[in-house]
Structure 1
């Protein structure tokens, strides 16, 4: 009864399994269940001991006491304890469900005795600061759920397991980890010439574009190209048409967990948000698709695929863009760079050096050898990173990565 899988038991009870319903009802009060089982168990064992002793002493006299003790101990251990309890532990449902048919009426019949035993037992437990209602919670923590998903094996396809694990990790990941950084934002400056704006609208590969006035910190709207199609076919286009087609921008603070922002997107009926810091300055753009890709993996065409941030070189070396995020580097290369500090390779290098480096500069970054190749506008634009933990190319040893 006590080794039943509680989650499987509840599932079977909800589906109408009578044995599961009885067992689940009994397990709601484990003190009473243990009480009725042990009353019967001890009554039988003590009675058997008394009867065996009485018979043995009449047959063999004083020697019968030793014979009865030895024989009964072996008999009880083999046939009443070890064998049946091992069988029940291996097949709990096969034993517990039929046993519940007898335990339910026994509990009702012996309830006065059970109540007295539980009263004495619970009173003793209270002396040690323990109450009968202080049972361990059946709720699983996030890490326990991760272990459960990992051990599901072939019952859950590998891709589905990865999706479940990604959902569990949403709370650990913030908007900063998945947003398009400020320097990579493609938008429309409403102060530009109207011909330049029209050309940009006709050639852009994005569905939604932020519209700003003069500076990216002054975003005044979000333009959906579906709305822009209404006036792009007209001969005369003015900026007023663009402004009328824009939707009010949706601002969110940096540091927002992805699970919270996913709910906020659903609540606000939005698909794109402008990320700002504590001073109100724009830090980047976050979209619903970016969050969903954290769960299911990439499912849309990546515009930046033609110029990847990570370029493999020889001897386990990689040319990495300074604005490549640490999470992306770890995910693609299987590295273990810290993610609890700066979000980009440039930020991680700056944090270590505590100054703006001059190229070429070499350093060891959390065990990885880094050669800075380009520094521009006070940021590291590109660096070559060597992975000393990877086996030499051509080696038969397989590289293992942290999942």
Structure 2
């Protein structure tokens, strides 16, 4: 080396700096890859992604071969720069060579390639895998020794090198991924994905039709009244009960009622023969579980019961689907029909309005860990049923009870502070 021309030594030094930049950029590019995108590309047959995935299956070996190559190149660069400095400036040039080489390595072989690799990891990782994969096979004995010693030190520190953090995402992490997707996912689809994630935290009693709003047929009524109810029914499935909704006999599908049209006279027995068995679910059943149950049992509706077995509401498959895709009958941006905006910025809200739906419609944060309706929230806060119009403040929301009927708050004026 001492007899080689200065020009050749400088050329070799520049080449080694490029090699150092290659190893530095490859390390950052490999580690900065989006593992889910990489997995998708590999399954799609992308050769670069397949090679890179194979290398990343053992990151300790990949890092080992990169660092072995990088350290070798940097040490050789230091030796050559020392020889060049001595031949040009004598022993006094060693300090200058050290400074200049450190600056060159820092700028050209570390910061610049690593920054580029962090910004465009695939452009670095995929091409570099063509070199790193055969290089790993070539240097495998040396890599194996380095990894064995390194992993041994980690185990002495009670760190298991075989344990990885894994690529699994928690629900909240997945929610962040969806929110940060930006224009990659349309707003409507993003909302649906987030709603699916919320199914686990929502139970059937959050979305059920309350007991007092269930429209059904009392089989003890006259047959003419029953037929009038059927003619004006707005639903395809109607509960049939005897005297009280807690004494439910079954669900009558309007399609089955059509079969009875040709009969000269329709009797209660004919109607009962066309009903299907009622299906009951606990009020604490999560929506995602109930959706699976509907699918498994080939059903579309269920009665919700409390801990005492009393019916408190009715939940349908459509209710669950609306939690995901939004209301089928109104535009997703429309305010709930229970909410009437006023010119002064306040809202007149029905007391039976769901707190969850109110929060969704108005982007509010009324407490949802207690009562399900606005009426329930007010009576719980007051600890009594108000006998006249009263005003109250719940967190930052001001409320004025406007109408009370049948021991319930019927309408409320609400505005934010």
TM-score by structure 2 length? 0.89
3-state DSSP class of the match of 2:103? helix
How far apart are residue 130 of structure 1 and its match? 1.4
- The reply on whether 1:6 has 2:28 as its aligned counterpart is no
**Alignment map for 1:170-319 (pairs within 5 Å):** 170-300=199-329, 308-319=337-348
Note the alpha carbon deviations across 1:208-234, whole angstroms, 9 max, x for none: 111111111111100001101111443
Greater alpha carbon shift after TM alignment, 102-111 vs 151-160: 151-160
How far apart are residue 359 of structure 1 and its match? 1.3
Q: Partner residue of 2:133?
A: 104
3-state DSSP class of the match of 2:200? coil
3-state DSSP class of the match of 2:31? coil
3-state DSSP class of the match of 2:244? coil
**Alignment map for 1:2-81 (pairs within 5 Å):** 2-81=31-110
How far apart are residue 193 of structure 1 and its match? 1.1
Q: Partner residue of 1:346?
A: 375
Q: Partner residue of 2:21?
A: none
| Equivalent position to 1:94, from 111, 123, 126 | 123
Q: Aligned partners of 1:80 and 1:308: how far apart in 2?
A: 64
Which 5+ residue runs of structure 1 have no aligned equivalent?
A: 389-403
| Equivalent position to 2:112, from 83, 89, 104 | 83
How far apart are residue 140 of structure 1 and its match? 1.6
Q: Aligned partners of 2:244 and 2:329: how far apart in 1?
A: 29
TM-score by structure 1 length? 0.92
- The reply on whether 1:164 has 2:223 as its aligned counterpart is no
- Runs (4+) of structure 1 exceeding 3 A deviation are none
As a proportion of its length, which structure holds more helix? Answer: 2
Q: Aligned partners of 1:174 and 1:54: how far apart in 2?
A: 75
Is contact 1:316-1:387 (8 Å) kept?
Answer: no
How far apart are residue 119 of structure 1 and its match? 1.1
Q: Aligned partners of 2:93 and 2:330: how far apart in 1?
A: 87
Is contact 1:326-1:339 (8 Å) kept?
Answer: yes
Q: Aligned partners of 1:39 and 1:301: how far apart in 2?
A: 64
Compute the RMSD of aligned alpha carbons.
1.7
Which 5+ residue runs of structure 2 have no aligned equivalent?
A: 1-29
Q: Aligned partners of 1:79 and 1:308: how far apart in 2?
A: 64
How far apart are residue 9 of structure 1 and its match? 0.9
